[in-house]
A and B are shown apart, each in its own frame.
Chain A
Amino acid sequence: MNTNLSTTRPASEAPTLAAGDLRLAFPGNLVASTVEDCRREALEALQNLPSPCTGATLDLSGAEVADSLGITLILGLYKTCKDMQLHFQVVGANPDLLRVFRLFSLSRLFPIEGR
């Protein structure tokens, strides 16, 4: 799986990203069959941050489903960013993803923006 990584502000139709953010976008769902690839590539990107970089944005525009393993992946990314003193946010979540995020109170930890 290829992540779509960017440190520049995206096109106007894309979700809001802060300047200098690392953009993490996965082309599919965050589920049991994909999370390991996603985790590996995301950690690789975080270990090779372009400079300057002040935060990371997870763009879920391409995801329709996130299961519990996907939630755990998102929480892992948040903790890694926190350890690296990077702010973290999630954008582009569809209403069903927001429903699951609410179930686990993720918005208490980081900003979440819907589509």
Chain B
Amino acid sequence: MIFKRFLVSEAEPPVQGTPEPRLEAPLVPLAILLADDSSMTRSLLRHWLVKAGFQVDLARDGQEAWEAFRARPGHYAMLITDVVMPRMDGPHLSSRIRETEPTFPVLMLSSSEDPAPYREALHLHVDEFLTKPFDARILVATVERLFAEHAGARRGQAVRLAQRTMAALPARDIPIQILSEPLAGAGGDVFRAYRRMDGSLFFTLADVAGHSVLSSYAVAAFLGTLSKLLADDLDLLELARRINTAIQDGPFSQAPICALFGHWDTRDGRLHLLNAGIPHPLWFRASQGRTLPIALDGAPLGILDQPLVEEKVVALAPGDRLLLGSDGFFDALSRSKVAFQGYAGSIWTSLGGATPAHALKLVSEAARIHAGGRFDDDLLVATLEQPPLDPGPGEFSLTFVSEPSRIEGACQALEAHLDARGWLAHADRYATTLAVREALANAMIHGNAQAPGTLIRLSAQGLPGGGFRVRVLDEGRGFDLAPLLPLATLAATRGRGIPLIRHFTRSLTMVGGELTMTFQAPDPGGTP
């Protein structure tokens, strides 16, 4: 997997007088919550445990430990606590935690002065006692033994959780085909698709680092967060921001997630993609026989304070077919260490006649043959095919070759549509047409870089409450954002188009090659 380095917390080399770390790379989150009201004891125990490769958080009393435990659900794997502490004592703390997680490992540091009956009663809520004084070797050995005893149970729990989440395949009415061959029963790649309230589709192909129990928890946390956020009907960028924050603040902050998000409206063919770390292009087979790579950059979610993503909007025509794949698919290596990615596009082109499901099977088989018969990573490929367009009443859509001589005709067609709907009756006709001209010229010259044969889509739609929206979409890597600066200086040789559009529209947004303008039709009865 891609980000294995984030998973393995390398222990510092052993120093003289401290136990040598014996644990392999952790299969469970080995964060220990240590509660003791003695600062000297806290410091000493933490020193021993950290040197042994554990992560330790400190609490000065039971209450503070309980608040830390509740604040980071799933983060802690063991409690080490003193018996007598202010505000909340060790037994009370242990009892509260066990009410939440009945098998949570607890090591209690008792004193030889504690009465025997009291110690027996404590057994109800602890796994082990360690009687002070003890040395580092005894402490670490006890902690390792407790972890080993609980690891099996926790692994089984995590795998069941992962299998449950992985088993929730897309609903049958969602026109996305997937083919998945997980390498292991835990963690790895995951694909989900959801239908939104407005009928559009949301999907994600996510790659969670590793196949350990930790990555299984991370998969579950990611999908849980995603389900919760999808209910808020966020746009993709805001969704990525929230997930980024959730990973950083959550229990699996050491497991960043590569994710591709898509928002697909099958009615008008608009496919909005946002990428955060999937390290290869997608292949987009257009119905005219063209196959285009969609290259998107970005960093995995959870690493940076602000997610580093790239967005792209694609206008799908009926029959257009997109191939999404995990790194295990695109990076499948031949014996001579050549990645399958170099062949994916041409093979995908050749499979235009097959059904989507059959095409997926064939392209996956081609990758397997390329890799010498087996994959070394999860295989997850998906395809979606644009059905016949079904634009809403009053919607306008025109796709044409990216050539400045076509601007005049496109503007006239749009103007006729707007007139027919009465949307221009009270609007600033000149400003509207000029803004659309500018957007089209920008898309052709900068977005498509005047590349021969590239396409432009011009669409328009009325807005609730009045006014209308016009979108211009190119096939390139998007608009040049430099001209977004304030009005260009008189001496500038370019940079006037976007300020001009902004001046003549109610709003202007640009996402991944798509420029969206809204125009407000003035109230005919209002003040001019």
Contacts and interface: CB of A to CB of B under 8 A. Distances in A.
A96 B500 CA distance: 13
A32 B437 contact: yes
B437 A65 contact: yes
Interface in A34-89: 65, 67-69, 71-72, 75-76
Interface string B490-511: 1001101100100100000000
B434 A100 contact: yes
Contact of A32 (B441, B488, B493, B500): B441
A100 B504 CA distance: 10
Contacts of B404: 31-33
Contacts of A76: 493
A68 B487 contact: no
A93 B485 CA distance: 27
A11 interface: no
B490 A109 contact: yes
A72 B494 contact: yes
B254 to A, nearest CB: 49
Interface in B413-460: 430, 433-434, 437-438, 440-441, 444-445
B405 interface: yes
A61 to B, nearest CB: 17
A68 B490 contact: no
Given A32-B407, A75-B490, A109-B490, A104 B441 contact: no
A104 B487 contact: yes
Contact of B487 (A75, A103, A108): A103
B496 A71 contact: yes
Contact of B430 (A32, A69, A96, A108): A96
Given A32-B437, A68-B496, A100-B434, A105 B490 contact: yes
Contacts of B494: 68, 72
A71 B492 CA distance: 11
Given A67-B438, A68-B438, A109-B490, A103 B500 contact: yes
B496 A31 contact: no
A69 B490 contact: no
Contact of A72 (B405, B407, B496, B503): B496
A68 B497 CA distance: 5
A31 B493 contact: no
Given A68-B497, A72-B496, A103-B500, A31 B437 contact: yes
A68 B434 CA distance: 9
Identify which of A33, A67, A99, A104 gathers the most chain B CB atoms within 10 Å of its CB.
Answer: A67
A90 B32 CA distance: 78
B493 A69 contact: no
B99 interface: no
Given A33-B407, A103-B503, A69 B487 contact: no
B120 interface: no
Given A33-B404, A33-B405, A33-B407, A104 B490 contact: yes
Contacts of B408: 31, 33
B487 A32 contact: no
A84 B404 CA distance: 31
Given A68-B496, A100-B500, A31 B487 contact: no
A108 B488 CA distance: 14
A96 B441 CA distance: 19
A99 B404 CA distance: 24
Contacts of A75: 490, 493
B23 to A, nearest CB: 64
A72 B490 contact: no
A68 B407 contact: no
Interface in B124-173: none
Contacts of A31: 404, 407-408, 437, 441
B430 A68 contact: no
A82 to B, nearest CB: 11
Interface string B367-401: 00000000000000000000000000000000000
B433 A68 contact: no
Nearest to B440: A32
Contacts of B493: 72, 75-76
Contacts of A99: 430
B528 to A, nearest CB: 16
Contact of A104 (B440, B444, B496): B496
Interface in B102-126: none
Given A32-B445, A75-B490, A67 B497 contact: yes
Given A32-B444, A32-B445, A109-B490, A68 B405 contact: no
B265 to A, nearest CB: 29
Contacts of B437: 31-32, 65, 67
Contacts of B497: 67-69
A108 B500 contact: no
A62 B238 CA distance: 48
A76 B500 CA distance: 18
Interface of A: 31-33, 65, 67-69, 71-72, 75-76, 96, 99-100, 103-106, 108-109
14 contacts: A32-B407, A32-B445, A65-B430, A65-B433, A65-B437, A67-B437, A67-B438, A68-B496, A69-B497, A100-B500, A103-B487, A103-B500, A104-B496, A108-B490
Top 7 closest pairs, chain A to chain B, by CB = A68-B496, A32-B441, A33-B404, A68-B497, A32-B404, A96-B430, A33-B405
Given A31-B404, A65-B437, A68-B494, 14 more contacts: A32-B404, A32-B441, A33-B408, A65-B434, A68-B438, A68-B441, A69-B497, A71-B496, A72-B493, A75-B493, A100-B434, A103-B487, A104-B490, A109-B490
